[in-house]
Structure 1
Amino acid sequence: MNSDELAAAYARLHGYGPEFGGDEEGNHGLTNHGPMAVEVMVRRRLDIGVQGWLDRYVHRLAELPDVGEPIQPDGWSAALGQARRLPDWTVYFQRELSERSWQDVLTEWWPRLLPGIVAGSTHGVIRVGHAVRTLRATPAAPVHPMLDELAHGLAFWTARYRALTGVVTPTGSLTPQQAVTAVHRLDSQRGFIAHRLDRLERSPGWTASLRLLQPAASTEEVPARLETLVDSAARAYLGLGHAAPVLLVHAATAPNAVLHVLPALPTELWQRSLTAAWAATAAIIATYAPTQSAPEAEIRARLPELSREDALCRAAEHGDEHVLKFTDTAVESYDRTGDPVFLATTSLAGELIDRP
């Protein structure tokens, strides 16, 4: 990984907030995917000029607002989920990461934030996941922009925190692939994601859907179960993606973020991380996926056969941040399984999602 290139990209992006657009309160806006996308570009060594990509991207972003009242260490819970405190949370985590190891800060805040894993349409956990991948890949002491990116990710997740009620530990017998298919869909899939989640929590099938997944039998099995969950969600995109091409990529990328954070966490946090990751995937499937999958065999038959290198090159040529992130995740699934269906899903995402 070219750490200098990534550090320069992070430094440029940190003058902007994690969301843009939306109403006068900042609700229902779009997410700034810049830091997550450039992490993929640099780590994968894609044939993209990072600064040129940013030149085209940053014009749509909103500047990070001014700091208000400092977050006090003993009063953090009162500011949890307050979007207007985002700049204050950013300063708070920057200070924390300057005084303690990033692993200690992450370990303290991860269990606090997991119940709100859907925060910012799951982009809070995804941004943290990309930041942690960068820090884990940095053998020497991490440079300031790398730590700063984790601070921005944690601040976004914290400021947009929204607990998802009805979440239970899985107790069922279904494999991840079977459980993804069996998730109960909302009768009314309309409106912003916040409104859909409100209806989901009142849906009689929500908690029942979460119970369906077979739990990991031991802590040691959690990483493998998470891998299979990511693979199942990525594979399901082939038949479901047409319904909501952008939102449904997060059914795979959110648990993939959790997967890559696991090695930095104490093992006693792994089981609850799996429960939260499954809840995030199930929530997106329930609120955006159609009840009936499109004919996957027909879709796959019309898509070109790709190598993993082809898939990454096509994502780079496409240039959309969602296509980049989803391709990164799907190629990992291909590397684990050797199943070319995952490469086909990247081709479909490139078709369904508009080029920038």
Structure 2
Amino acid sequence: MDTTGTLDEALQRLHRSGPERLGRLTNHAPMAVEALAAHGRPEAVHRWLDVYASRLEEFPAGVEPVTDTDWRSALGDPRRAADWIGHFGREITERPWRDVLAQWWPRLLPGMYGGSTHPVIRVGHAVRTLLAGESTEPRLNELAHGLGYWAARHHAVTGLVPVTGADSASAALDAVRPVAGREGGFPDRLGRVTSLPVWAASVTDPDEAHRRLTELVRAATHRYATHGHGEETMLVHAATAPNAVLRTLPALPRALWVPSLRAAWTASAAVTAMYAPDAPVAWVPPGAVTPEEVFELALAHGDEHVIKLTDTALDVGDERALAAALRAVELSEPLR
């Protein structure tokens, strides 16, 4: 983890900006700069951020403070993003961040799908930083921003009909039925997801939940190498959303690990249903390339989703995961 202070400087710079732009598009910069710092490239953080800066908007105005008595009425209201971020900022100032996370995680978990799963991904990056190093004020503030964004964009999915799945995560993702119709963005397509395969529903042991979640991240990352062309940006989240949950598990009470697995599976499977291509392609082995070289290619490309998928692929660490990262470089438009 970055010990130079560069990440803290970047987070302070970013906390003057809102979690979204144009009323719907996510600010990916906090996640991307955390990934750069985590992979030993702090000198690239501000250079990358200078290019991305034109996509940032001012921090939004508040409506009214969120309180312990009325928070339910504010949940899922994107107009209250500043109110929610302020609420979590106060909470984390007054209590240990792990206690705040443990209290709010089960409240927020059912609404993982709001903001195209970006809020939970932002929280996962923030937690990784806090677990790896010092709990500095900018890093604690980043967790508050991530949790606040999640609360503001909270969107639950209910009424899904379970259908026959499979024993492995890979086979279960293969069993996902694509939604009818390819028009519309994430919210429109999410509304067309009515059924998902059953997978890991019988898990009750926290350690088994951790193992299964690790398996899911690997399977979804591998799948991008063969299915990423269905939608090169959105299918990244089938892997990065469950990986955010996996990264957060060590900071959570073990009693929350099983419901975390179930929510992560539903999110990954739903994204798969929404953007699956008509047919897969063969994956291309990456050859004699190191993980460090793959990350350098992602950094040179610059796209925030490419950086974040590569970050997850390096967590997985095998040949097909590296192929998935290279496939993202191939499919995606570079950051300019």
Name the TM-score class by shorter chain: over 0.9
Aligned to 1:309: 292
User: Counterpart of 2:174?
Assistant: 181
User: How many residues are treated as equivalent by the alignment?
Assistant: 334
Q: Which moved more, 1:209-218 or 1:303-312?
A: 209-218
Which residue is equivalent to 1:221? 208
Q: CA deviation at 1:214?
A: 6.0
Look up the equivalent residue of 2:115 and give its one-letter code: G
Deviations 1:247-289 (A, max 9, x none): 0011000000000100111111110000000001001000011
Whole-Å Cα distance in 1 between the matches of residues 42 and 96 of structure 2?
34
Matched residue type, 2:117? T
Equivalent-residue separation in structure 2 for 1:240 and 1:284 (angstroms): 12
In structure 1, runs of 5+ residues without a counterpart are none
**Structure 1 vs Structure 2 CA RMSD:** 1.8
SS at match of 1:16: coil
TM-score, structure 2 normalization = 0.95
Relative to the length of structure 1, the TM-score reads: 0.90
Aligned amino acid, residue 342 of structure 1: A
The amino acid that maps onto 2:210 is P
Aligned to 1:327, which of 297, 307, 310? 310
What CA distance in whole angstroms lies between the structure 2 residues aligned with 1:228 and 1:322?
21
Contact 1:81 1:158 in 2 (8 A): yes
Which of 58, 65, 76 is the equivalent residue of 1:63? 58
Does 2:104 correspond to 1:109?
yes
Identity %: 46
- Summarize the Cα distance change of 1:351–1:47 in structure 2 as closer, same or farther, 3 Å threshold: farther
**Preserved CA contact (<8 Å) 1:180 1:285:** yes
Counterpart in 2 of 1:87?
Answer: 82
Moved more, 184-193 or 252-261: 184-193
What does residue 355 of structure 1 align with? 334
Distance 1:330 1:49 in 2: 20
Q: Which residue number in structure 1 is paired with residue 235 of structure 2?
A: 248
Alignment equivalent of 2:276, drawn from 266, 274, 289: 289
* Amino acid aligned to 1:326: L
Which whole-Å CA distance do the structure 2 matches of 1:46 and 1:166 have between them? 44
The offset of 1:316, in angstroms, is 1.6
Instruction: Give, in angstroms, the shift of residue 171 of structure 1.
Output: 8.9
- Per-residue CA deviation, residues 68-88 of structure 1 (Å, 9 max, x unaligned), is 211111110000001101111
* Secondary structure in 2 matching 1:242: helix
- Matches for 1:145-164 after TM superposition, within 5 Å: 145-164=138-157
Contact residue 172 and residue 215 of structure 1 kept, 8 A: no
Q: Which residue of 2 aligns with 1:300?
A: 284
Cα distance change on mapping 1:218 and 1:293 into 2, 3 Å:
same
Query: Take 1:111 and 1:168, find their aligned partners in 2: how far apart are those partners?
Result: 22
- Alpha-carbon shift at residue 173 of structure 1 (Å): 4.4
Residues 229 and 278 in structure 1, CA contact (< 8 A), matched pair in contact too: yes
Q: Counterparts in 2 of 1:135-284, with a 5 A limit?
A: 135-138=130-133, 140=134, 142-166=135-159, 173-200=166-193, 203=194, 206=195, 209-213=196-200, 215-216=202-203, 218-284=205-271
Change (3 A) 1:214 1:108: closer
Return the alpha-carbon distance in structure 1 between the equivalents of residues 109 and 29 of structure 2: 23
Q: Specify the SS of the correspondent of 2:314.
A: helix
Contact 1:243 1:289 in 2 (8 A): yes
Aligned equivalent of 2:45: 50
Range with bigger deviation, 147-156 or 215-224: 215-224
Distance 2:36 2:44 in 1: 9
Contact 1:67 1:87 in 2 (8 A): yes
Alignment partners' CA distance in 2, 1:266 and 1:156: 22
